Amino acid sequence: MCLSSTFTYLSKIKYFILLKCNINQSYDIFLVSIYSTREYQKKIMQKEQIQRAETLVKSIGIPPQPTIVLQLLKKVNKENLDIQEIVDLVTQDASMTAKTLKIANSPFFRKTKVDTIHQAISILGIKNFYAIILTASLEEALKVDRVVLKKFWTHSKLTALTTSLLAQRMGVNHEVAYLTGLFHDVGIALMINKHPDYQGIQDYALYLIDVSEITDKYDTISGYESSLYNTNHCVLAYAMARSWGLDDIVCQVILNHHIKNHISQNPIEQQLFLLLQMSETIVYRYEKEIYNKSHKTIIEPTCKVIDKSDIERIYEILKATRDEHNI
């Protein structure tokens, strides 16, 4: 669906308002969405899944938000931003400093070569720098064997880059888009950590293979996962995103990103959801060509705002990122 038609599409969702509900001698207004029975049941099931996931994650052990991220967020939100305070905070950790500079010098972020944390903040801006710190922290937090997670990291980083690039092209907050792409499949790593046999269906969760090849009962991989493990990677990713303090809109997009034709009442959330869907389509085609070594074909743009030259530029950045960082 074209993003420019998002609001038209949303306007087709009808609501009715129940007025004059006498409660304690006052009138309350209840806005009730009209859902089909199936849609309503899905909402109930999703709520139950989240509740089960919140119990399950205690046994899985979701990596806590690192102290450096908490401290950085406090400093970033201060009225009088002191860059030197942030530099001092990050450089206390040599490993974090090295990872941050490596990411800052990646083809996507790099505007010019960055040698110091101060340069990174000055050149990239504080919001981009915060996104880089979250990326480095996420890599540090997920302790699963790097080889096992190679496809996961490749897909997550490429999706984050693509979502951000599309957001910039469409005038949407690209920092938020980047984090949405980065965290959307983090539940896969948590599932592998808890259930080693999950590696057998990881490719389906990453859209590398269509779910119809392993089941005809479920139209999404998240449904199939829930039948096997009583939860799915979308719910776990949602739980981790919430625990790391990501915006609620981002968390909702992550939770619903495998639901076909998902509609949100929040137009910003719907925009972000559609951006992520477009990004996954682009990355899917790109990765399919990489793994199958097929001839590269530029996919047809799905939105009038995006043309073939935009897709070609994204492909070039994805290739440069893979080559430079061996992902």
* Domain final residue pick, 123, 141, 159: 141
Same domain, 267 and 242: yes
Residue 136 banded pLDDT, cuts 50, 70, 90: confident
Query: What is the model's pLDDT at position 198?
Result: 92
Which pair of structure tokens corresponds to residue 61? 């052990």
Given 100, 121, 141, which residue is the final one in a domain? Answer: 141
Residue-number span of the structural domain to which 129 is assigned: 64-141
3 state DSSP class of 33: strand
Work out the average pLDDT over 204-214.
Answer: 81
What are the C-alpha distances in Å from 151 to residues 49, 188, 226, 272, 301?
Answer: 26, 11, 22, 24, 25
pLDDT bin (cut points 50, 70, 90) of residue 27 is very low
- Indicate whether 31 pLDDT > 60: no
Q: What share of the chain is helix, strand, coil (3-state, %, to 5)?
A: 65, 5, 30
Lowest-confidence segment of 11-20, 23-32, 126-135, 248-257 by average pLDDT: 11-20
Cα separation, 179 vs 174, in Å, equals 9
Token pair listed for 265: 């009442």
**One domain, residues 210 and 88:** no
The per-residue pLDDT for 68 is 84
Select the highest-mean-pLDDT range: 37-41, 71-75, 174-178, 227-231: 174-178
Q: Is the pLDDT of residue 287 over 90?
A: no
Number of domains into which the chain is organized: 2
Q: What is the pLDDT of residue 88?
A: 92
Of 10-19, 122-131, 176-185, 217-226, the least confident: 10-19
Query: CA 213 to CA 68: how far, in whole Å?
Result: 43
Q: Which of 141, 168, 196 is the last residue of a domain?
A: 141
pLDDT value of position 43: 63
Taking residues 193-221, what's their average pLDDT?
Answer: 84
pLDDT at res. 76: 79
pLDDT classification of 294: cutoffs 50, 70, 90: very low
Cα(42)–Cα(25) distance, integer angstroms:
35
Cβ burial of 265 (10 Å; 0-12, 13-18, 19+) is: exposed
pLDDT tens digits for 140-164? 888 767 677 888 888 898 899 899 9
User: Residue 30 above 70 pLDDT?
Assistant: no
Output 100 or 24, whichever has higher pLDDT. Answer: 100
Is the same domain home to 263 and 316?
yes
Q: Are residues 164 and 308 in the same domain?
A: yes
Same domain, 124 and 266: no
User: What predicted TM-score, i.e. pTM, was given to this entire model?
Assistant: 0.74
**Looking at the structure, do residues 74 and 164 belong to the same domain, yes or no?**
no
> Does residue 272 share a domain with residue 136?
no
Residues 120 and 191 in one domain: no
181 pLDDT tier (thresholds 50, 70, 90): very high
60 pLDDT band, cuts 50/70/90, is low
- What pLDDT is stored for residue 157 in this prediction? 87
Question: Residue 13's pLDDT is what?
Answer: 34
Q: What is the pLDDT of residues 75-125, one digit of tens each?
A: 877 778 888 989 999 999 888 899 889 888 877 776 678 899 999 998 888
